[in-house]
Amino acid sequence: MATTSKSSSRKPKSTGDQTWVYRFADVDKAEAYCDGSWDGVRALLGGKGANLAEMTRIGVNVPPGFTVTTEACNTYSKIGKFPDGMWEQVLTALKSVEEATGKKFGDDTNPLLVSVRSGAKFSMPGMMDTVLNLGLNDKSAAGMVKLTKDERFVFDSYRRLVQMFGTVVMGIEDEAFEDYLTEAKKVYRVKTDAELNAEAWKTITEEFKTIFKKEVGEEFPQDPFKQLELAIEAVFKSWDGKRAVDYRNAAGISHDLGTGVNVQTMVFGNMGNNSGTGVAFTREPATGERVLFGDYLINAQGEDVVAGIRTPSPIAKLKEEMPAVYDEFEAIVNRLEEHYREMQDVEFTIEQGKLYMLQTRDGKRTARSAIRIAVEMAEEGVISRQQAVLRVSPGQVSQLLHPQFDEGAKQEAAATGRLIGHGVNASPGAAVGVAAFDADLAEKWGKAGKAVIMVRPETKPDDVHGMLAAKGILTSRGGATSHAAVVARQFGVPCVAGAEGIDIDVRSRTLKAGDVIIREGELLSIDGGAGEVFKGEIPTVEPDFEREQFLQKLLGWADEFRRLNVYANADYPADARRAREYGARGIGLCRTEHMFFQEDRLPVVQSMILSEPGSAEEAAELEKLLPFQQDDFYGIFRAMEGLPVIIRLIDPPLHEFMPSHEALALRAAGLRLMGDRPNELAQIEELMVAVKGLEEFNPMLGLRGVRLGIMRPAINAMQIRAIFLAATQLSRERVRVKPEIMIPVTSTYMEVKTLREMVDKIAKEICEESGVEIEYMVGTMIELPRAAITSDKMAEYSDFFSFGTNDLTQTTFGISRDDAEGKFLLEYVETGILPENPFQVLDREGVGYLVDLGVKQGRKANPKIEIGICGEHGGEPKSIEFCHNVGLDYVSCSPFRVPIARLAAARSALIDDGFSSK
Amino acid sequence: MATTSKSSSRKPKSTGDQTWVYRFADVDKAEAYCDGSWDGVRALLGGKGANLAEMTRIGVNVPPGFTVTTEACNTYSKIGKFPDGMWEQVLTALKSVEEATGKKFGDDTNPLLVSVRSGAKFSMPGMMDTVLNLGLNDKSAAGMVKLTKDERFVFDSYRRLVQMFGTVVMGIEDEAFEDYLTEAKKVYRVKTDAELNAEAWKTITEEFKTIFKKEVGEEFPQDPFKQLELAIEAVFKSWDGKRAVDYRNAAGISHDLGTGVNVQTMVFGNMGNNSGTGVAFTREPATGERVLFGDYLINAQGEDVVAGIRTPSPIAKLKEEMPAVYDEFEAIVNRLEEHYREMQDVEFTIEQGKLYMLQTRDGKRTARSAIRIAVEMAEEGVISRQQAVLRVSPGQVSQLLHPQFDEGAKQEAAATGRLIGHGVNASPGAAVGVAAFDADLAEKWGKAGKAVIMVRPETKPDDVHGMLAAKGILTSRGGATSHAAVVARQFGVPCVAGAEGIDIDVRSRTLKAGDVIIREGELLSIDGGAGEVFKGEIPTVEPDFEREQFLQKLLGWADEFRRLNVYANADYPADARRAREYGARGIGLCRTEHMFFQEDRLPVVQSMILSEPGSAEEAAELEKLLPFQQDDFYGIFRAMEGLPVIIRLIDPPLHEFMPSHEALALRAAGLRLMGDRPNELAQIEELMVAVKGLEEFNPMLGLRGVRLGIMRPAINAMQIRAIFLAATQLSRERVRVKPEIMIPVTSTYMEVKTLREMVDKIAKEICEESGVEIEYMVGTMIELPRAAITSDKMAEYSDFFSFGTNDLTQTTFGISRDDAEGKFLLEYVETGILPENPFQVLDREGVGYLVDLGVKQGRKANPKIEIGICGEHGGEPKSIEFCHNVGLDYVSCSPFRVPIARLAAARSALIDDGFSSK
């Protein structure tokens, strides 16, 4: 049952008499058609169909049915009609179901009712259309009433068919039906659907048929075969519907897979109080704890649970209400988890005390639970450690390390009345944003860069685009398995669901919680882990990595598997300590200029900049800075004892340390008018000249990095002295230090040669003075195209290369990140001119070409060279995969991303070695 | 006698008994040693030695002598002493010279005197050291007096030996001798050396020996063999002297060639009035006219002519003074020119009526004369047209097209007393700059970017670094063959030499011409073609290409040989016409944004920019610009009838069209204080917001080029409409047009695809409306590394590529030209961190890699694609050679550079095909 994420390339063996329809019981035939590949079966039947067939095969009680293949869907998409022979095969399969159930489709006395559901290879919850109770019409409804003696149930079912068929198949707005239903409940003076009696449902069914006719222009079809035909076609069509396409785009699912259509005997959870329906997970999807978790509703159909319209009961309560059913259910789901070796998400229906399984699939889960489940399953011996590592995505690690609210701030907010509501902790994480009351606005604001909390009474598949663009989701209805909760968990968006104390009024675009009113555009904070809703903004803090024991264990395994080393970018001792705690095995980028910006140093830095290069004044100012830098390096070296620390010499252009010319000009103009402080004016005017002299049209491409090192060598010399003074100091204190000096912005090997000579000279002097030997390395950033192109020469003078892919992306594309992202880059990604933002995901085609060239040439010229990456891509999983493939030695990223990088590196290595998650 | 510019890689056949010394008469042996390669002989003996040997072989009267090889020099450089056996071979060769002359070296009665001169493979005038009259000492001088009965001549010669030996071999400052000589002339109340009598020279000789002892600390060596040994060693050492190294660096001559040493029997031009010495060219070196040209001095030694201390007579006067000698001389030099098939520069001496040839070499010449000589020699049938083309360097064409002074302005300056002097028109061209009175200052100012005229009484080899950095050279002494004149012509620096009416006072750092005084740092203009000196600045005008008939002829031949097409960059119809006149076969880059900056259009452009993209207001403003652009294109298409015109869509970021934020802020601050014009203030404040929104940190890498085309498509659409409206208009007027639309700043093929679709759509519309078919092409600039790397995909949507090597250099190096050149790039070139300024000469290693990649991938994906270059490199000869090698279809450059490009392209093709200039 090996499945991979690739779609099967299998072709039909014959076109004339192709099999378009497989009964659940025919799983062996489907498997044979797919040459024994379970992945092939999933591709052919869709995940839902394949699992129904598989459950049937292992003897679980599944209502009989059959699956129309994804190939039929794809053929339909191409030719615009059912493929030849498909309908006939549907009828044959239906006959077989009739035989199995003893019922007859369209029969007036003992009618077979079926559901029609989509099911693609990859689960797309709520994205595809479902129609229940097909086979009902006026006559068979009457027959059913006779048979079941339950008019209320029959007309509740019939009205559902009309409603679902009307909305899903014919495209009527759901409000048309729901508004009427709400009115009806008022008329009947009841609060819930369950209180409506048979007469009411009968009237409602008639009214629904009238609505149907009014909206569609035709009568509701009384021919069950017509119902079936239209429903299958609707599923096919929905594959290419906007919301399905959007979802696939967002989730990275290929558009050419197609969906299967599952036609299955209806069983009824709404046949009285010994009936019910529910969904459950074999483990807790938010925490991963090994307990059965789920919701059910007595006397309801499945859609009622998923849609979150009624708030259901927790599955544990079923043990009290129907202990025998519960025991059977527990046994089945445990068996399913064992069989699939994965946490399962199941749907079940109890029809008059009899348990049916309607679906099983790998369960969606939060990042936290995914990690715990993977680790515990590996420890239970169900899967291997390699599989465990492959079952957790770097994105999930990232979610787990999302910022959390500051506890103190939360308590203070609660104390001051800003905690305005509680709901289900549906998807963990802290989110702050402005309230947006519909998906379109949430999307619009989100794309414009606003942090948005999408606020809805409940969410529907149509809302997914807004949910994806939001920082958080708040609903007032539905539980932990509601649409909002499932989608939010999958995409790692914090979510509080079913916050019933909060009144969300979409029309007036406000939410009310007691006295508090929050209007659209006002700030809101939600804690998806605690289920709390706050007015205004709560400050966030970093997550507590130490307490994430399952993650720590998983990453420990990952460290055994990965071949890329993981370093961190850290400028201060505190960063370095955190990086180490997060598992960094070195500092890949320590920026030295941040130290220059500190308040107590900046005036000295400015005087130094304004002094004549090579002058005594310059030397004097640098002498003042030296102890500061030495302290900085001392702290970092100490924090990273025994591990390499790569220190980049000063990088930014000097004018970054100076005030802006415009600000000075305005001050000068002011002083001139007042006319009473000539000295200050003269000073400012002098400063303006100096600042003008330092200004550049394109500072990114100006006098910075090594160019500064060559034009004002004294600055670099001071930095190098500080490094070796700190190193020798620590060495005398018996702390092992591994300084590596990195030269930025090089474009010719001569720059590297010049700086390397400077480093070697100063190192020699200081080591001789102090009588201590320091092992060190000198390397260069490869962050300009020419550096990559001439990497063979660069390598001759370099102990290591570090690809600075931020700048390399800027120069390879000729795009300044500061200027581009807002001005055109997002639009480029949006309209597909670029597949991804190259500053987020390394552009393999362009930038990657240069990285590959740089590695190949560099290693050829200097086989001992160490090569890594220290751009932001170093913490991005797809980019890390590239780094692995291209043969780098290490990636370096921000401390918070180190765990992500450790996992991503391990996954790349495992995939490289042929491991899979299944 | 084939010579190429490559140094021979020949190795000595045996090391034990290597031949270090060849007599002039032994040229056949040397040639055999070099496997018959004349280039090898020149490398072995140096150019001077080889030519002396060659003249000896063809029977010209050359004083006997021998050459110590360059291999001996190189061995000396390595081991720090003469190679084993060399000195013995010198003595043997000297013996042979003694036999040929019947004199004896160091003899007291009939002494052999010799000169010692350097001679490297490539002529380096004045760069290497010469010592004359070796063999004289107190005793042999006395013997010579007896023999010649000319005490005056003997002691003049002796004092020259002491002086030259002292300065050249022992490194004494020349002033030590010259100051005394000047004093002596005052004492003897004479004005010139010639007036000094025997007694005077005897006294001076003694005094020179005293000076020698004082400066050196030892007596002047009386042993002639010691003199010879030290002199040869001094020549060897001078090869590695600073000025020689500087010269080789400037002229691009390899440092490992070494110099030969020529030891030759002295003949004397200073043996009375039937003696003399001179230099001459077989054709006029300034104009190229076929007349004998040169200077001579009666009763003088050769150094007097070259040093320019005495002003010599023109060679034509020799015909009157010594008709027989003149006829013999004329016959010899004609024979030499015929033999070498090149204009010759000869040195000769007449010793008591007998003519000796001391040197012949290919003559230096001005650009103008080089062209005329090459063309006329080809027409005379002496050389082929291919050789003629190869004999003219692109740099010479460039010199010829140097700007000239505006004639009217010159006449006006003359009328107002600003024409302050005349001199020899030593090197043509107009130059304006500030006066600098020494070479170091000229160099310093020149490097700092100042235009400098270097002003000296006369120049010496030590001054070359300043001469190279100057825009022009002015001397008050010396003629057309003086050091200043020769060097200036070679490097194409305008020069007025021997402006005797001008008094140049180096100490007070002023020049005086009548009442006019010009101080250091004040402006001066010189016309090196007319020999005129002006106070202040004279405006320059473009050269008159039409009148350059020899150049036109040569370029006509070049056009037959070249395989690269030559286009021009031109934005206006006038430019286009000039480009065509200069031989451009198309427009390779027509920038459209210049048109937007015109005064009458800028306000419309600004309104357009400030309007909402896609708004009616934007459309309205663009509608106003449309007729302007249409007119622009109409004019250019008409000027280029029948030839391709490549139009680049708008390139710069929009803020370039707006006022600066600082300027607006200051105006706003002013208005706020006055407080009386609130409307204007509000307007400015609004404008400030808009300008701020357009501002970019790195505009080079910002929203420009195609990015603008995608974000504000209406602007490009207007431009494309204008192009096709102009084209259809002309087409109806029966003018053939070939518009090619070029998309700038692309980094992904999707940009090209998007714009190509826009062009095709608009073209179709307009052609259909007008009922005219226009053939057009759409192509892209390759000016970002990613465009080159993904050129295969780019090529699928491109009819042509144009490498924008300015921007490609900026992004490949990560260097902004605007910021870098002054701030660090010149320093980089100076200190050898970069071999050349990559914005002048295309960087083959880095940028060239990308060009090559772009061409290879582009052609593979689209074999019909046309590929060219439109950066400034398109007019630079070395870069054009690269373009030829890499297989481009065309180069495009500024109109003035078109002739250079035509020649450079032809030379590349000829060299490729194995042609050489010899």
For A709, the closest chain B residue by CA position comes to B824
- Residue in the structure block whose two tokens are 């004359």: B132
Q: What's the pLDDT score for residue A1?
A: 37
Chain B residues whose CB is inside 8 A of the A652 CB are none
Q: What's chain B's Rg over C-alpha atoms? A: 33
CA angle B584, B590, B592 (to 5 degrees): 165
Does position B2 have pLDDT exceeding 70, yes or no?
A: no
What is the spatial distance between Cα A265 and Cα A272, in angstroms, rounded to a whole number? 19
**CB-based contact, B810 to chain A, within 8 Å:** yes
Of A665, A747, A827, the CB nearest to B662: A665
CA distances from B129 to A60, A461, B240, B866 (A): 107, 92, 12, 54
**CB-based contact, B777 to chain A, within 8 Å:** no
Chain B, window 650-689: residues with a beta carbon less than 8 angstroms from a chain A beta carbon: 661-662, 665-666, 669-670, 673
Burial class (CB within 10 angstroms; exposed 0-12, middle 13-18, buried 19+) of B915? middle
Q: Of A483, A520, A515, A481, which Cα lies nearest the Cα of A501?
A: A515
pLDDT band at B12 (very low <50, low <70, confident <90, very high): very low
Side by side, the strands of the sheet bearing B516-519 are: B503-505, B510-513, B516-519
Does position B327 have pLDDT exceeding 80, yes or no?
A: yes
| Mean pLDDT comparison of A47-61, B464-478, B750-764, highest-scoring range | B750-764
Q: What's the pLDDT score for residue B320?
A: 92
Q: What's the pLDDT score for residue A8?
A: 42
Q: Of B52, B6, B7, B16, which Cα lies nearest the Cα of B261?
A: B52
Q: What's the pLDDT score for residue B8?
A: 42
Chain B residues whose CB is inside 8 A of the A813 CB are 747, 784, 786
Chain A, window 824-853: residues with a beta carbon less than 8 angstroms from a chain B beta carbon: 824, 827-828, 831-834, 843, 845-847, 849-850
What is the spatial distance between Cα A181 and Cα A191, in angstroms, rounded to a whole number? 11
Give the amino acid at B145.
V
Three-class SS of B626-681: HHHHHHHHHHHHHHCCCCEEEEECCCCCHHHHCCCHHHHHHHHHHHHHHCCCHHHH
B699 with A819: Cβ contact below 8 A: yes
What is the spatial distance between Cα B318 and Cα B321, in angstroms, rounded to a whole number? 5
- DSSP-assigned letters across all residues of B400-417: HTS-EE-HHHHHHHHHTT
Q: Is the dihedral of CA B540, B545, B547, B549 positive or negative?
A: positive
What is the spatial distance between Cα B859 and Cα B844, in angstroms, rounded to a whole number? 20
Tell me how close the Cα of B830 comes to any Cα of chain A, in angstroms.
12
Q: What's the pLDDT score for residue B490?
A: 63
Give the amino acid at A393.
S
Average pLDDT estimate for A891-903 = 92
**H-run or E-run covering B587:** strand B587-591
Of the candidate ranges A567-571, A661-665, B343-347, B737-741, the one whose mean pLDDT is the lowest = A661-665
Does position A81 have pLDDT exceeding 70, yes or no?
A: yes
pLDDT in tens, B218-252: 999 999 999 999 999 999 988 888 778 877 877 77
- Quick check: helix, strand or coil at residue B96? helix
Of the candidate ranges A772-786, B335-349, B713-727, the one whose mean pLDDT is the lowest = B335-349
Residue/partner pairs of B610-618 with CB below 8 Å, 24 or more apart: B610/B687, B610/B690, B613/B711, B613/B712, B613/B714, B614/B714, B618/B712, B618/B714
Residue A870 is a catalytic residue: yes
What is the spatial distance between Cα A608 and Cα B90, in angstroms, rounded to a whole number? 62
**CB-based contact, A213 to chain B, within 8 Å:** no
pLDDT in tens, A452-506: 999 999 888 778 788 888 999 999 887 776 778 877 876 668 999 888 889 998 8
CA distances from B252 to A343, B248, B610 (A): 75, 6, 53
Chain B residues whose CB is inside 8 A of the A832 CB are 750
pLDDT band at A620 (very low <50, low <70, confident <90, very high): very high
**CB-based contact, B809 to chain A, within 8 Å:** no
Q: Which residue has the higher pLDDT, B217 or A395?
A: B217
B823 with A711: Cβ contact below 8 A: yes
pLDDT in tens, A134-190: 999 999 999 989 988 889 889 988 999 999 999 989 989 888 898 898 889 889 988
CA distances from A164 to A177, A208, A661 (A): 10, 10, 67
Q: Which residue has the higher pLDDT, B690 or B57?
A: B57
By the 8 A CB rule, do B518 and B510 touch? yes
Of A697, A814, A845, the CB nearest to B818: A697
Q: What percent of chain B has pLDDT over 70?
A: 96
Average pLDDT estimate for A819-830 = 77
Structure letter (DSSP) for residue A165: I
Q: What's the pLDDT score for residue B307?
A: 58
Of the candidate ranges A21-25, A857-861, B121-125, B583-587, the one whose mean pLDDT is the lowest = B121-125
Instruction: Mark B43-65 as b/e (b = at least 16 C-beta within 10 Å).
Output: bbbbbbbbbbbbbbbeebebbbb
Q: Which residue has the higher pLDDT, B354 or B671?
A: B354
pLDDT band at A9 (very low <50, low <70, confident <90, very high): very low
pLDDT in tens, B155-198: 988 999 999 999 989 989 888 898 898 889 889 988 877 788 89
Q: What percent of chain B has pLDDT over 90?
A: 59
Of A697, A828, A849, the CB nearest to B789: A849
By the 8 A CB rule, do A671 and A680 touch? yes
Of A786, A824, A846, the CB nearest to B789: A846
Average pLDDT, chain A: 89
Q: Of A812, A801, A578, A618, which Cα lies nearest the Cα of A712?
A: A618
pLDDT band at B5 (very low <50, low <70, confident <90, very high): very low
Tell me how close the Cα of B446 comes to any Cα of chain A, in angstroms.
19
Q: What percent of chain A has pLDDT over 70?
A: 96
pTM as predicted: 0.77
What is the spatial distance between Cα A358 and Cα A346, in angstroms, rounded to a whole number? 7
Average pLDDT estimate for B34-56 = 91
For B825, the closest chain A residue by CA position comes to A707
pLDDT in tens, B365-384: 878 899 999 999 999 999 99
- Residue in the structure block whose two tokens are 């765990």: A899
What is the spatial distance between Cα B65 and Cα B113, in angstroms, rounded to a whole number? 11
CA distances from A882 to A169, A852, A854, B648, B785 (A): 44, 10, 14, 37, 20
pLDDT in tens, B670-683: 888 787 788 888 88
pLDDT in tens, B537-553: 998 877 778 888 999 99
Q: Of B29, B246, B226, B281, which Cα lies nearest the Cα of B116?
A: B226
B846 with A699: Cβ contact below 8 A: no
A698 with B703: Cβ contact below 8 A: no
Chain B, window 694-733: residues with a beta carbon less than 8 angstroms from a chain A beta carbon: 696-703, 707, 710-711
**Crossing angle, helix A898-912 and helix A877-886, to 10 degrees?**
50
Chain A, window 731-750: residues with a beta carbon less than 8 angstroms from a chain B beta carbon: 745, 747-748, 750
Q: What's the pLDDT score for residue A656?
A: 84
Tell me how close the Cα of B787 comes to any Cα of chain A, in angstroms.
8
Structure letter (DSSP) for residue A12: -
Q: What's the pLDDT score for residue A243?
A: 77
pLDDT in tens, A264-297: 999 988 778 899 999 999 999 888 999 999 889 9
Average pLDDT, chain B: 89
Does position A11 have pLDDT exceeding 60, yes or no?
A: no
Instruction: Mark A847-864 as b/e (b = at least 16 C-beta within 10 Å).
Output: bbbbbbbbbebbbebbee
Does position B13 have pLDDT exceeding 50, yes or no?
A: no
